[in-house]
Every structure is written in structure tokens, then in C-alpha cells.
Amino acid sequence: MTPARTIVVLGGDLAPAGRAAAEARAVAVIATEPYPTPEVVVATLGEHRPAAIVVRLVADQLGEPVMRAGGALGLIVKHGVGTDDIDIEAARRLGIPVAITAGVNATSVAEHAFAGILAFAKDLVGQDRLVRSGVWDKARYHGREVSGQTLGVVGFGAIGRKLAGYAQAFGMRVLAHDPLASAPMHGVDMADLDTLLAASDYVSLHCPLTPATLNLIDRRRIGLMRSHAVLINTARGGVVDEAALIDALRAGRLAGAVADCFAAEPPAADNPLLEMPNTLVSPHIAGVTIDAKAAVSVCAATLAADWLDGRKPDPYYLVR
């Protein structure tokens, strides 16, 4: 098979369904190990000279030297939606479009976020631990209904809208903040960020990590939140000032946090968020259910194969 019909996947293989979708289009798939170094990436692209690559898990942000390495790169596809591991400005300078698998894993991420809300409202983890330790004490249970509570959604794209729908089905009031939101949603009140934080019982983050959103939820903004509130982060660790979050949780100024992502991944073994009784943590897997992995891989493979066939990605998938 010629290099023109080859795509390179950086950071682990496509799901079987994605590989099958590529092979059905006569496209060969070359995959590196997870978190390849820039040296490995450059060597791989230089060897295979792909016209399109799929970015999964890389050790460092892909910059201009990497993008130039193969000499034939025409399209970068992100296996997911977060592009903080791709230098978008460098890609623009080189005239290389960047596509994302927009909306494909929205259901999985939104379900994970809402599961975190229910887990805290019903104290599922705490009650599980008590019963396993031999404690059977209904008087110590202080669970709440989510109906009538307020959910603040920061970032109102496909995931945020999906989550808002789940919350409304449970009788929650929904506030949303997104300077780029294109259209309102029935029953959702748009608000500025500070107002949303001060008014919400649960705050769920669904914005990309960019220079503008780095430490968006900082010490001042955490201070605006209600002391009984829970912060849910299934976006990117860097959106939250992690030290400020830890301080607020320790001091009781915030009731809890659901952390699917961290400032550094994997987090250090002594990261306080891993030891606190009022946190629920997971290894950045909200968007990688079996269902989502298959769908995202198929979408990524299709975008790459379309490019090789001379078809540009639909603007819906392009990073602007």
C-alpha cells in the first residue's frame, strides 16, 4: 500500500471498529505506543510520510517541527475533542486543518458527569464504605434529591447540552455559561460565570483548555461557590486551580469534587485529591466507554479516509 493511503495514529491503536472502517476504505493504519515522545513521533512520520494523522495520547504537544517531519501531512484529526496537545497556531501557519470528532463521545462524558452528581447527592461511595466496614447506621445518612437543585454548566457545546437535558429530566434548574454558545436551549438560563458559580449547587465543567481557560476556576471563583456545592471536572485538569480546589475542600468551603482529570496526569501518588473523603476520582475516562471508543475511532478513521479521497472535513468537525 502506498504512503498516500496510510494514516498514522499517535498514542495507541484505533478501536477495532475504527481500524475496520479504515481498512474498508483501503487505508493502512500505523499506530505508535501510547504517549510517544517527540523523537518517536518524528521518526514515525518520517518513515511513513502520512497525508493524515490521528492524535490520541502524546507525551508533548505536537508543534511545527513534528508537523513538518513527514513532509506530506495535510490533515490532523484529534481522537476526541480536546486539542491542547496540538499547536493549533502552528497548524494554521502550515495550512494544515485540524479536525475533531465533535459530539461523538458527548453522551459518555455527560453520563459520567451526571453519575458524579447522583453519587454525591446520594452519598453512594460513603455509604458503600460504611457498610463494608461493618457500620449499618441510617441515622448518619444525609442524602439529598437533585430535583429542585441548580446545576451550572460551564461550556455549552454538545456535552454541556446533553448534560443539561439529563438534569432537566431529573427536575433540576440549569444555568449555563459559554461566551461562544450559538443557540439557547429551552429551559436553560444563560448567565455570566460568576453568577453561575454563586447560584449553583453543582457546577460541571465542559470547556476546552486554552490560554483563556487555564485556571478559569481559580481561587477567587471557587470562593464564590456555595459551601455545599460540588465541582465536577470532566474537561481538562488545567481549567481548575488545583491547589485552590484542595484548600477549599480541606477547609469545608466546598462540599466535594468529581475529578476525572488532573493538572498533571497521571497525578502524583501524594496528590491530596486522591486521599480526601469528599472527592470522587477517575483516570480521565469519562469519554472512553466501550461505546464511545468505537464511535470516536470510526469517526476519526472516516475523517482521515475522506481526506485521502480528496474530501475536506465538514466544517462542523474543524477547529476554527
Please give the positions annotated as active site: 236, 265, 284
Angle in degrees, CA 284, 206, 233, rounded to 5:
45
DSSP string covering 153-197: EES-SHHHHHHHHHHHHTT-EEEEE-TT--S--TTEEE--HHHHH
- 25, amino acid identity: R
Return d(Cα 57, Cα 18) in angstroms, integer. 16
Question: Reading across the β-sheet that carries 98-100, which strands appear in turn?
Answer: 28-31, 6-10, 52-55, 75-78, 98-100
Residues 6 or more apart whose CB falls under 8 angstroms from that of 273 comprise 242, 245, 246, 249, 257, 259, 262, 267, 279, 281
Q: Is the dihedral of CA 192, 195, 198, 201 positive or negative?
A: negative
For 125-149, b/e burial (b = at least 16 CB within 10 A) is ebbeeeeeeeeeeeeeeeeeebeeb
